[in-house]
Amino acid sequence: MADNNKKEIKKHYITRSESRKIAKENSRAIAGFEKQKKRKVRPEEYVTQMKDDKNIVEFEDLHTYFFSDSGTVKAVNGVTFSVPAGSTVGVVGESGCGKSVTSLSLMQLVQAPSGQIVSGSIRFRADMFKLDEKGKKIPVYEKYTDENGEEKIKLDEKGKPVIRKNGLGGNMYEMERQVVDIAKMPTEAMRSIRGREVAMIFQEPMTSLNPVFTIGNQLDEVGRLHIEGISKHQVKARSIEMLQLVGIADPEGVYKKYPHELSGGMRQRVMIAIALLCNPKLIVADEPTTALDVTIQAQILDLLRDIKGKINGSIMLITHDLGVVAEMADYVVVMYAGRVIEMGTAEDIFDNPLHPYTIGLQKSKPTVDKEADSLYCIPGFVPNPINMPNYCYFRDRCEKCMEKCSGEYPGLIKVSDTHSVSCYLYEGEEVKNG
């Protein structure tokens, strides 16, 4: 008993020498990762190939850790899933299970310096600018055929070649469709993807807009940054067009307003407008409706669905609300304590949930058709993510826990073409197909 107590104490408190050791190791690790993010690399180092060409994003064995003073927090611990082009993927799980960190990793926005992508890869298919030997973008010039039938570059009055305009009114450059590994990309290169190819909508519309700049200023900023050569007038027109697209009734008026003059729902619409401005291929929506009241939630979700069709992009929707996922998602990824425990199409997960955690989540959702005195709740809490043991993290809360569960962490088992689960209950039910 006494021995047991000692162990218990050791688990919760760290001695001074231990804490010093942790701090030392942390600062070394962080320095290494920060250096890697700042280094200058040639694009070849982070350009890769997709495993499946249908996907727009593939996460593979992603590890994102927080080097905290009390130890390394493995917030994302080996996550593998993909987002097929043109689809909506819902990522669900309790608070603190790594959903947001996964999405922030995709944007390289994990709170540095303590938070770092440690290993794994995030492959993203992006339209990258083609660069010449000097590392400059190659413009596409306006051409015409003269009377001799020869193709010539059009010149303006000053004799300079005229650059062709793209659909958004900016200069056209030679583009190249590349698959880049965001986990290996330096921050410098990542910047041209952020806001242009992937855009993010955050959880808190109330605090996500800068309070001292007008809505117009914050929208125009994105246009001016990513659409090179666009005129002031065109930027404004584009911003107002976006405000209109997200269903703001008085776009010209809102353009001139400050964020505090708008309601939460309006601000979230503005956030969506900012995200849409450069026609991104992927929108990452991190709990976009959590902070809004129910009627506005429905409107925002409708808007997101609408827009996905309009820009022909994909959405990665992070939420803890199963109702939202059921309504929106084509594919569902269930996360628990930094790992994917079950994934499949929305039908798979809702009609045939396999993992005891997913089943528990489903049961704890309020329904109208069943009469119940109190809502089901999964016993216990998400475990402390520091020094996690190597067995199923859900073991201590699981109703169907078996002897085998004390063994190694179960791998993902494919129970159908689209549906996989990481639980010993389904060992042997694997489908094997090429």
Partner 1 sequence: MAKYIIKRILLALLVLFGVSIILYFLLRMMPINYVMEKFLPQINQGNMTWEDLGRIMKLYGFDLVMFKDENGTMLGEVNNSFGSIFTGYWQWLWNFIRGDMGQSFKYNEPVNEIIASKMGVSFGISFVSLIFQVIIAIPLGIKCACNQYGKFDYITTVLFMTLTAFPSFFLGNMVIKWFAEDLGWFPSGRLDSGLGLTGIAGFGDMIWHLILPMFVLTILSIGSLMRYTRTNTLEVLNADYIRTARAKGLSEGKVVYKHVFRNTLIPLVTVLASTLPMLFGGAMITETIFNIDGIGKVAYDALKEGDIPLAMCYNMFIAMLTVIGTLLADLMYAVVDPRVKLSN
Residues in contact with partner 1 by the rule CB under 8 A: 107, 109, 187, 191-196, 199-200, 202, 204, 207-213, 221-222, 225-226, 258, 260, 271, 274
Q: Which lies closer to partner 1 via its Cβ, residue 207 or residue 418?
A: 207
Closer of 109 and 298 to partner 1 (Cβ): 109
Min dist. Cβ of residue 340 to partner 1 (A): 24
Min CB(129)–partner 1 separation in Å: 13
- The least distance separating partner 1 from the CB of residue 280, rounded to whole angstroms, comes to 11
Question: Which residues lie closer than 8 Å to 344 by C-beta, 6 or more apart?
Answer: 331, 332, 416, 418, 419, 420
User: Residue 247: left if φ>0, alpha if ψ -120 to 50, beta else—which one?
Assistant: left
Query: Which is closer to partner 1, CB of 210 or CB of 406?
Result: 210
Residue 272 CB, nearest approach to partner 1 (Å)? 12
Cβ closer to partner 1: 275 or 325?
Answer: 275
What separation in angstroms does the CA of 371 have from each of 323, 352, 365? 18, 22, 13
Burial bucket for residue 412 (CB in 10 Å: 0-12, 13-18, 19+): middle
Q: What is the rounded CA–CA span in Å between residue 88 and residue 258? A: 32
| Backbone angles phi and psi of 161, in degrees to 5 | -65, 145
Q: Closest separation between CB of residue 121 and partner 1, Å?
A: 21
Euclidean distance between CA atoms 140 and 174, whole angstroms:
6
Residue number, 194 or 397, with CB nearest to partner 1: 194
**Closer residue to partner 1 (CB): 185 or 322:** 185
Residue number, 220 or 342, with CB nearest to partner 1: 220
Q: Are 261 and 242 in contact (CB under 8 A)?
A: no
**Least separation, in Å, of the C-beta of 432 and partner 1?**
42
Helix (H, G, I), strand (E, B) or coil at 335: strand
Structural tokens at position 115: 């938070």
Least separation, in Å, of the C-beta of 209 and partner 1?
A: 6
Q: Which residues contact 9 (CB under 8 A, 6 or more apart)?
A: none
Task: Let me know: does 72 contact 314? Beta carbons within 8 Å.
Answer: no
